[in-house]
Amino acid sequence: MRNIVVEELKALPIEEHKVEVVERKGIGHPDTICDSMMNQISVELCKEYLNKFGRIFHHNIDKSLLVAGEAEQKFGGGEIKKPMLMVIGDRATFEVEGREVDVNGIAINTAKKWLKENLRFVDPEKDMKYQNELKRGSAALRDIFKRGDEILGANDTSAAVGFAPLTQTEKIVLETEKFLNSKQFKKDFPESGEDVKVMGLRTNGELHLTIAMPLVDRFVKDENDYFRKKEELLEQIKNFVNDKTDYKPFIYVNTLDKRGRGIGGIYMTVTGTCAEDADCGQVGRGNRVNGIIPLNRPIGSEAAAGKNPVSHVGKIYNVLSHRIANEIYNAVEVKEVYVWLLSQIGKPIDHPKIAAAQVIPKNGSIDDIRKEVNEVVDRELANIQKLCTDLARGKIGVC
């Protein structure tokens, strides 16, 4: 029997709070680059392990540092003076029963491919260098994968929490960044960089979105052209947000800008990301697995990106807790739900130390829905292998 607890949460749903703050870091943000790239390396390693050996072996590619380079922005097009540096860590399986795995080659090639597919103006060969610090894992953690268990034991004692539903503010912050980084938007406005950050504040019936998005210098003739293009982008964002909110929207773009100061008074990049010379990045500092940084919500401390998808609960439970919460919200009459999962190292991942669902009922009492909620939690835990398979294949995003 699984240790499932269902209790009533005596609290106001977030939508009814007076103040709500939500953040989203886009695909070109240095932190998101680290998260996305390291997770893709894990996916590619999973493919290699499965192709060679029929199963996934120990790895955690969840330690990474993107060191900013040096760039000179110029109207009409600048240049990269010193390339960015991507440091890749932490652990992987390099050999199984005498057969080697080209972990280093997979890691570097995946990093370059990710850049080519996601950042239009970053040359993977010239604009970034790579430092591979992946090493062999400990004997105890590697042994988890050799025990022949159908459901692996957790490789850590760790907790995660997920919630549902997203508030209107959370949805708008998420959708605004995706809109700005969509293929169509980049086609219509190629001057817009991928390093988009959206900070949302909802208060007093108003929604304030502060957006940072660099313009790519090759598309900007001079300072006046910059501010003209910025106004065009602002109008596009206003039109997009106006159709999606009941709140009174206020949109701000690149608020550090100041006319008359030339390059120093505007947000412009050579490559579309501030990692070229302004800001470093790191795994775990970006979006949670549901794509946002929700400051009003409880969040776990584990970075999901890059962890292995079959034993590391730091990835599995982070994703699963949100999935269970959404399933409960869709199946049961509740206003809001939070799901907590706690593992115990070595114990099967489908039997957490505790699985707790905290719900705000829509009607009636917690006793009226306790059985339904319990059944959803139990069913999702029983199907954990399918979730792990989808994570290994890269079908589920984690940032």
**β pairing state of 159-164 and 60-67:** unpaired
Residue 307: inside a domain, yes or no?
no
* Residue 264 maps to a domain: yes
Residue 267's domain comprises: 17-25+186-282
Nearest to 376 by CA among 327, 313, 334, 308: 327
Within a domain: residue 276? yes
Q: How far is CA 255 from CA 113, 153, 158, 265, 394, in A?
A: 33, 49, 39, 10, 36
3-class DSSP string for 259-276: CCCHHHHCCEECCCCHHH
Residue 98 burial (C-beta neighbours within 10 Å; 0-12, 13-18, 19+): exposed
pLDDT mean across residues, the chain? 96
In-domain check, residue 270: yes
How many whole angstroms separate alpha carbon 234 and alpha carbon 297?
29
Q: Is residue 209 part of a domain?
A: yes
Helix (H, G, I), strand (E, B) or coil at 386: helix
Across the strands, what pairs with 355?
Answer: 4, 341
Measured in residues, the chain has a length of: 399
pLDDT, one tens digit per residue, over 334-357 is: 999 999 999 999 999 999 999 999
- State the pTM of this model: 0.96
Q: How many CB atoms sit inside 10 A of residue 369's CB? A: 22
pLDDT tens for each residue of 377-393: 999 999 999 999 999 99
Q: What is the DSSP letter of 367?
A: G
204 part of a folded domain = yes
* Per-residue buried b or exposed e for 175-191, using 16+ beta carbons within 10 Å of the residue's own CB: bbbbbbbeeebbeebeb
Total number of domains in the chain: 1
Q: What is the pLDDT of residues 233-278, one digit of tens each?
A: 999 999 999 989 989 999 999 999 999 999 999 999 999 999 999 9
Residue 141 pLDDT grade (very low, low, confident, very high; cuts 50, 70, 90) = confident
Residue 313 lies in a domain: no
pLDDT of residue 5: 98
Tokens 């219509």 correspond to what residue? 188
CATH number at residue 277: 3.30.300.340
- Residue 234 inside a domain? The answer is yes
Indicate the pLDDT class of residue 1, thresholds 50, 70 and 90.
Answer: confident
Cα 28 to Cα 25, 261, 355: the distances in Å are 8, 26, 35
Closest C-alpha to 195, from 399, 33, 397 = 33
Over residues 1-26, the mean pLDDT reads: 96
Amino acid at 148: G
**Model confidence band, residue 311 (pLDDT cutoffs 50, 70, 90):** very high
The percent of residues in the chain predicted with pLDDT above 70, rounded, is 100
